[in-house]
Amino acid sequence: MNVKRTWKTVESGPRDYQEALHPVVKKNYGKWKYHELPKPGILKHVAESGDTLFTVRAGTPRQDSVDLIRRLCDIADKYADGYLRFTVRNNVEFMTPDEENVELMVKELEAIGLPVGGVGPCVSSVAHTQGWLHCDIPATDGSGVVKSIMDSLYDDFKNWQMPSKVRLSTSCCAINCGGQADIAIVVKHTRPPRVNHEIIANTCELPKAVACCPVAAIRPTVVNNKQSVMVDHKKCMYCGACFGACPAIEINHPEHSKIGVWVGGKNSNARSKPSLGSLVAHNLPNNPPRWPEVNEVIRKILTAFKKEGRPWERLGEWIDRVGWKHFFEETDLIFEKDMIDSYRHARTTFNQSAHVRF
């Protein structure tokens, strides 16, 4: 790096938010009274002062070009006083005190290809990870899966057809950077990792590779007179922790890295406590560019939920009410032995009662 430096780094941490707030937000900061959802994609917030603020929310591809971002800025400059924000789900939001701006913005957003929606009882954008585009350990592509799914759920994003909020996530490896969600789509490996003994002999501290495995399946060994490691196939449960930790270990496989679907994850504390998702489909092929098998499973789940869920009832709460047996029947998915927990606190998930539905 031989560029001449003209600027001394300022370790400022998070960007200051004062200059980023819309004036109506600033004025009524902490003094909001209530909100309404006038129609899909639109929020209306009313402040104690009587001020009203409309929000228009739209979906984005998340992997944005500066071109798209500039277009968003154009819209914000035109209708939202030069401010905009993003949600934790990659949606963009424009706020305005002027009701007439709302429809104009909706039009312009749709014109540049961004659907307005994601507010209220609908499917919002998918929590989203890197995949083949950028990550160093992905078995599939985050953005591609999301695009394929959201094409199918386009109407469910734009309209109120769901009993309540439906939140999705995708993750391109078993680590699940996408997080718990009503429906989570996550890579599931089905074979133990392979060791490249050449690389390990050259680059790796052996203890690290050995220490990273939660079930002690990695053991030091000697290959061609060189120190290396081996994977005990009996113990390994295909978690992939070693893969991220050691460059000589590879677990991804074009055929054997499959996709699993998990339902009933919930982060909010509304009504029921937050809960982890449960595995309901696995062994789905990793099938780019459109992942039809995954899409089909999601369709089945959401069709059943749409039909039976009650207002304010989240997907997992619906299943709690009707029972897992009914869920599998209604969605046409198949409960398999592997879906019985076998990991650390497995016993606490068993049916330790005579309660049973027939």
Partner 1 sequence: MDEIDMDNEDEKKSSDQDKKFLNPTPMLDELEEGPWPSFITGIKELAERTKKPMLRGVMDQLEYSYQTRMGYWKGGLVMVRGYGSGVISRRTMIKDKIPEAAEFHTFRVQPAPALHYSTKMLRDLCDTWEKYGSGLITLHGQTGDIMLQGIEESKIQECFDAINQAGWDLGGAGPAMRTGVSCVGPARCENACYDTLKLHYRVLKYFTEDVHRPQYLYKFKFKFSGCPNDCSNSIFRSDLAVIGLWRDSIQMDSTEVLDWIEKNGTDSLVNNVINRCPTRAISLEHGEMVIDNKNCVRCMHCLNVMPRALSPGRERGVTVLVGGKNILKVGAMGCTMVVPFFKMDADEDVDKFIELCESIIDWWNDNGFEKERIGETIERVGLKQFLTGVGLEASVDMVAKPRSNPYYKSKY
Binding site for ligand SRM (CB under 6 A): 35, 43, 87-89, 91, 118-120, 124, 127, 129-130, 134-137, 164-165, 167, 175, 177, 179, 244, 266-268, 270, 312, 314
Neighbours of 203 (CB within 10 A): 11
On whether the CB atoms of residues 258 and 190 are closer than 8 A, the answer is: yes
Q: With 0-12 CB in 10 A as exposed, 13-18 as middle and 19+ as buried, what is 105?
A: buried
Confirm or reject binding of residue 224 to partner 1 (CB under 8 A): no
Confirm or reject binding of residue 357 to a copy of itself (CB under 8 A): no
Which residues contact residue 243 at a Cβ distance below 8 angstroms, ignoring those fewer than 6 apart?
Answer: 137, 173, 193, 249, 250, 251, 252
Which residue's CB is nearer to ligand SRM, number 6 or number 351? 351
Confirm or reject binding of residue 5 to partner 1 (CB under 8 A): yes
Neighbours of 36 (CB within 10 A): 11
Which residue's CB is nearer to ligand SF4, number 71 or number 167? 167
Span from 79-87, 166-174, 252-260, 324-332 in contact with ligand SF4 (CB under 6 A): 166-174
Which residue's CB is nearer to a copy of itself, number 273 or number 307? 273
Residues between 260 and 319 with contacts to a copy of itself, criterion CB under 8 A: 269, 273-274
Give me the residue label for tokens 């953005």. Answer: 143
Which residue's CB is nearer to partner 1, number 40 or number 277? 277
> What are 245's two structure tokens?
């930790």
Residues between 229 and 288 with contacts to ligand SF4, criterion CB under 6 A: 231, 236-242, 251
Q: With 0-12 CB in 10 A as exposed, 13-18 as middle and 19+ as buried, what is 196?
A: middle
Interaction mask 168-207, partner 1, x per CB under 8 A: ------xxxxxxx-----x-xxx-----------------
Q: Cβ 299 to ligand SF4, closest distance in Å?
A: 23
Which residues contact residue 196 at a Cβ distance below 8 angstroms, ignoring those fewer than 6 apart?
Answer: 248, 249, 250
Confirm or reject binding of residue 294 to partner 1 (CB under 8 A): no
On whether the CB atoms of residues 248 and 209 are closer than 8 A, the answer is: yes
3-class state of residue 28 by DSSP: coil
Q: Cβ 269 to ligand SF4, closest distance in Å?
A: 9
Residues between 100 and 139 with contacts to ligand SF4, criterion CB under 6 A: 129-131, 135, 137-138
Confirm or reject binding of residue 303 to partner 1 (CB under 8 A): no
